[in-house]
């Protein structure tokens, strides 16, 4: 749903926090000199969530909605370069020493085998390491834009819950957003949490 359609249906109470045009002209004091924008806003709007999961947004917007913004960060080469180096360094550190420390603090999952008696077995150390590394790398790659993934889709409730997913190009990002829009009402825990990095 577009912002204007949302305001028409649910009122103007949240325009000050949702509409970037209003925030940009809110009369803040001590505004620094203008500089080239570090990112471009490609699309902005609202996504509808089901009754069961909407409260988990830390408070949804009226009507069980969360707010989305699609960004293009390609103009901010300096930050993209810095974050790319950070992601590479974190992955290297994890591979060198972090996995053993993390493995020591996480219990193995019990996996159900597809047998008649539903026998449960513990993960091996290698299986645990691979799972934890995959989760860690996914979070790293989706928390901040990088040179390889300079587009972001940010989702947020009206208080303190937010998620982000990064993309390699605009087409991929828009196709993913279109899939979310076509799947409304969404469920936070099945449609968002496994596919986004939790950022706040």
Beta strands 151-156; 65-72: pairing state: antiparallel
Please indicate, yes or no, if residue 185 is contained in any of the structural domains. Answer: yes
Q: What was the pLDDT predicted at 132?
A: 83
Q: What was the pLDDT predicted at 112?
A: 47
| Residue whose entry in the numeric block shows the structure tokens 């993913």 | 176
- For residue 172, name the pLDDT band (cuts at 50, 70, 90): very high
Q: pLDDT per residue over 132-161, tens digit each?
A: 888 888 999 999 999 999 999 999 998 879
Give 76's contacts (C-beta < 8 A, 6+ positions apart). 38, 39, 145
Task: Using CB atoms within 10 Å of the CB of residue 89, give its burial: 0 to 12 exposed, 13 to 18 middle, 19+ buried.
Answer: exposed
Q: What was the pLDDT predicted at 111?
A: 46
Which helix (H) or strand (E) is 199 found in, with range? Answer: none
- C-alpha–C-alpha distance, residues 82 and 187, integer Å: 34
Q: What was the pLDDT predicted at 20?
A: 83
Q: pLDDT per residue over 5-63, tens digit each?
A: 999 999 988 888 888 877 555 455 555 555 667 899 999 999 999 999 999 998 899 99
Write down the H helix ranges in 39-76: none
- C-alpha–C-alpha distance, residues 71 and 178, integer Å: 15
Please indicate, yes or no, if residue 30 is contained in any of the structural domains. Answer: no
Last residue of some domain: 143, 161, 190? 143
Task: Using CB atoms within 10 Å of the CB of residue 142, give its burial: 0 to 12 exposed, 13 to 18 middle, 19+ buried.
Answer: buried
The pLDDT mean for the chain works out to 85
Please indicate, yes or no, if residue 39 is contained in any of the structural domains. Answer: yes
Give the number of domains in the chain: 2
Q: Show the domain range for 138.
A: 78-143
> Do 133 and 99 fall into the same domain?
yes
Please indicate, yes or no, if residue 29 is contained in any of the structural domains. Answer: no
Q: What was the pLDDT predicted at 185?
A: 97
Q: What was the pLDDT predicted at 133?
A: 85
Q: How many CB atoms are closer than 10 A to CB 189?
A: 11
Strand partners, 61: 65
Please indicate, yes or no, if residue 163 is contained in any of the structural domains. Answer: yes
> Do 16 and 64 fall into the same domain?
yes
pLDDT exceeds 60 at position 115: no
Find the range with the poorest average confidence among 44-53, 85-94, 162-171.
85-94
Please indicate, yes or no, if residue 99 is contained in any of the structural domains. Answer: yes
Statement: the pTM of the whole predicted model exceeds 0.85: no
């Amino acid at each position: 749903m577009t912002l204007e359609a949302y305001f028409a249906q649910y009122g103007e109470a949240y325009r000050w926090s949702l509409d970037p045009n209003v925030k940009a002209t809110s009369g803040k004091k001590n505004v620094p000199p203008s500089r080239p924008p570090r990112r471009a806003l490609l699309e902005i709007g609202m996504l509808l969530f089901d009754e069961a999961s909407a409260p988990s947004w830390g408070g949804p917007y009226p009507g069980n909605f969360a707010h989305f913004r699609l960004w293009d960060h390609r103009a901010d080469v300096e930050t993209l370069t810095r974050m790319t180096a950070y992601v590479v360094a974190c992955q290297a550190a994890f591979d060198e020493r972090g996995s053993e420390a993390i493995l020591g603090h996480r219990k193995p999952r019990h996996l159900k085998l597809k047998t008649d008696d539903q026998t449960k077995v513990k993960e091996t150390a290698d299986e645990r390491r691979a799972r934890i590394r995959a989760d860690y790398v996914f979070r790293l790659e989706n928390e901040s834009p990088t040179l390889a993934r300079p587009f972001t889709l940010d989702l947020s409730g009206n208080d303190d819950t937010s998620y982000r997913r990064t993309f390699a190009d605009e087409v991929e990002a828009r196709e993913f957003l279109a899939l979310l829009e076509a799947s409304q009402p969404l469920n936070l825990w099945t449609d968002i949490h496994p596919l986004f990095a939790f950022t706040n």
